[in-house]
Structure 1
């Protein structure tokens, strides 16, 4: 087995994808944490885009989360992608959809005012309605009984909503039983649970409060003393 180092930022959902796949593979790896606000020179030398994650394989960098996940799936067993070419293409498409959902999540928590916040909420809801139609009807995973790369992509997506709900931002999954079942299964999966540090909720809360967005102001109001 090659020596693996996952260069990570504590809040990056794309890092979490790679960590989930590494855990599903049972691979031994080192986490090397960095501050993206103060990027060290060694990191800039291995990350052409200056972003996390980067996977160092015997010192050689692999960057971009989807590429990292695909590399790990090809290099180590058990395979998380399906065997058929058409099925793999379909799941790759839904992995890209997962990235679009993450963009929509960021647009939601970064919305500057209440009107924009509600508009971004509606856009997120529309994406989850699309997922409801795409999910295997029996579950628990995207494609049924097989945990795959699409599941690894969406584990970090749903983690945001655990926090959103604690500050009163609920209802995203009402009437979407397949999505809700999938979310609960991912929440309980050890590889998903352990992809972040124990203090992740506190760090995410602090990050969102500091955004100065409409959601930040709602959270501050929720947290204010009675």
Structure 2
């Protein structure tokens, strides 16, 4: 691609592993909005990308060629312009859901700390923090299957990519004590089978994630190197 002029009305500029890209892709799929997805290599950013992404990050949504950047802003734009609404109608509930979306971003930061932990002690400390965060979630979840009950919401779009990490991480150790979190576990399973969540990544996502993890100078990388790849 040599220019930012898209052939489709909506173009999602993405990176194959970015969880924030997945959020936007999930929301687009839930709303049934046709879009074109264009993956870029963040290690070799094309000039056209730097023109539409002032922060040099994905995702970017091109709307008739006009860029919208930052995943939270993209998702809010889509919710304002395309049905069905993925936020509650009630203002207080909507604010509470947005608070838990921020909580989800904090969990993603902890996952980053986990895969960057330089030694086993730091790795265990990050794992304990993750279990504590998921325990907080356990206390607020209802009967499900989704965060707010039977309706899929923006909070679910945020946590689908969070849980996806553990499809690979669970093969490398017990970083979250899932048996003690039955409601979180049921929510995770419900999201894992949701078509929008499934389709938000490429089929080779697990292999790409393992390769990414192994390339880090970290304790987790050493675990990846010592484990058999999925499907081997």
TM-score range, shorter chain: over 0.9
List aligned pairs for 1:1-226, cutoff 5 A: 3-135=9-141, 137-169=142-174, 171-223=176-228
What is the root-mean-square deviation in Å for CA atoms of aligned residues? 1.2
TM-score (norm 2): 0.93
TM-score (norm 1): 0.96
In the alignment, structure 1 segments of 5+ residues that lack a partner are: none
2:19–2:162 CA contact under 8 A, matched in 1: yes
In the alignment, structure 2 segments of 5+ residues that lack a partner are: 1-7
2:130–2:175 CA contact under 8 A, matched in 1: no
The alignment of Structure 1 onto Structure 2 pairs a total of residues equal to 222
C-alpha separation in 2, matches of 1:113 and 1:66: 33
User: What's the offset of the Cα at 1:170?
Assistant: 5.3
C-alpha separation in 2, matches of 1:214 and 1:89: 38
Structure 1 stretches (4+) deviating beyond 6 angstroms? none
- The CA deviation string for residues 125-173 of structure 1, in whole angstroms up to 9 with x for no partner, is 11000111121x2100000011000000000000000001123345432
